[in-house]
Amino acid sequence: MTGRRVVIGVGNDLRRDDGFGPAVVERLRGDGVLSAAGVTLAVTDGEPSRLIDLWAGAEVAVVVDAVRSPADPAGHCYELGYDEVVGPVGAAASSHGVGLGSTIELAQALHRLPRLLVVLAAAGRDFGFGPGLSPEVAVAVAPVAARAAEVVT
């Protein structure tokens, strides 16, 4: 695969399961394989302009995030195309609270989406204060890291 490739972990590792994206990127960094292959591994808080900067111009971008999903058990994994993530702009759209869907819409309007954007996510249970993932969510780190590696290689 030619062109820039990037795996982006979105979240805050001091808000429990919100640290899922950063944990997946940390695991990939530890493996060293993707870095050696020239894949950019990045962590961000989800602020839209930073996220767009990270994936703009890329051939492939994988975004790893945690989601709230009352319908599914904690640790349940999802793989979504960007068109499945775009949703209505929430009323509470602050720069701290802009969702991934709104950021993708902004990137679309600016023609700054990567050629391929895949979102890998896991359902979180605890988004409270402090480090560390819930056990069910921690179990999802390895398979999601492996899937992210497959997508970008």
For another protein, the binding residues (CB under 8 A) are: 14, 44-45, 47-50, 52-53, 89, 91-97, 102, 105-106, 109-111, 129
Measured from the CB atom, is 93 or 142 closer to another protein? 93
Task: Give me the least distance between CB of 98 and another protein, in Å please.
Answer: 8
**Contact 136/125 with Cβ under 8 angstroms?**
yes
**C-alpha to C-alpha distance for 133 and 54, rounded to whole angstroms:** 25
**C-alpha to C-alpha distance for 151 and 106, rounded to whole angstroms:** 24
Measured from the CB atom, is 73 or 88 closer to another protein? 88
Measured from the CB atom, is 49 or 153 closer to another protein? 49
Task: Give me the least distance between CB of 153 and another protein, in Å please.
Answer: 26
Reference 50, options 100, 122, 115, 116; nearest CA is: 100
